[in-house]
Amino acid sequence: MGQAMDIQPRVLRTAMGHFATGVAIVTGMASAEPVGMTVQSLVSVSLEPPLVLFCPGKSSTSWPRIADTGGFAVSVLGQEQRKLCSVFGRQGADKFAEIDWKPGLHGCPLLEGALVHIECETYATHDAGDHHVVLGRVLRVGHRPTEEIPPGPLLFYRGAYAALAPS
């Protein structure tokens, strides 16, 4: 292999910004209190066993609280749920004060109106630079009925929210 270039964080962030991602909220219950955070790095890893992956930052104050419980839920957001990203992206506030949710397995919050809910137990966690790589074993999946699905998923592209263009 060739010699590695000195890649500056801003250069890599700009380059990776050209890869559109979906937006999801990872939630859990910590000491009977709902906890949640916004993620863009949700990936289906395996069908047998059913595994998903996401990457919380090591600076996250929410992830350690969720990690301690051994389980979490993921709510995949639709276009009309953009406001939730701001709510769950900030630290310290009561993120659930004005959010409709219901408890799923292990009490993990499932956000009302999400396109998909994925409920997991933590399968493995790995160190990855300034992030963790978290694998979750999927225990249950639910989704909105097809007739209720909004125009499309909430996407993030080049530093801004984006929508799928009709085909």
Could you tell me the pTM of the whole model? 0.88
The whole-angstrom separation of Cα 3 and Cα 9 is 18
Asked if residue 146 lies in contact with residue 112, where contact means CB atoms within 8 angstroms, the answer is no
Chain position carrying tokens 């396109």: 115
In tens, the pLDDT along 46-99 reads: 999 999 999 999 999 999 999 999 999 999 998 889 899 888 887 777 889 889
Burial of 42 (0-12, 13-18, 19+ CB in 10 A): buried
Smallest CA-to-CA distance from 56 within 125, 8, 119 is with: 125
In tens, the pLDDT along 108-129 reads: 999 999 999 999 999 999 999 9
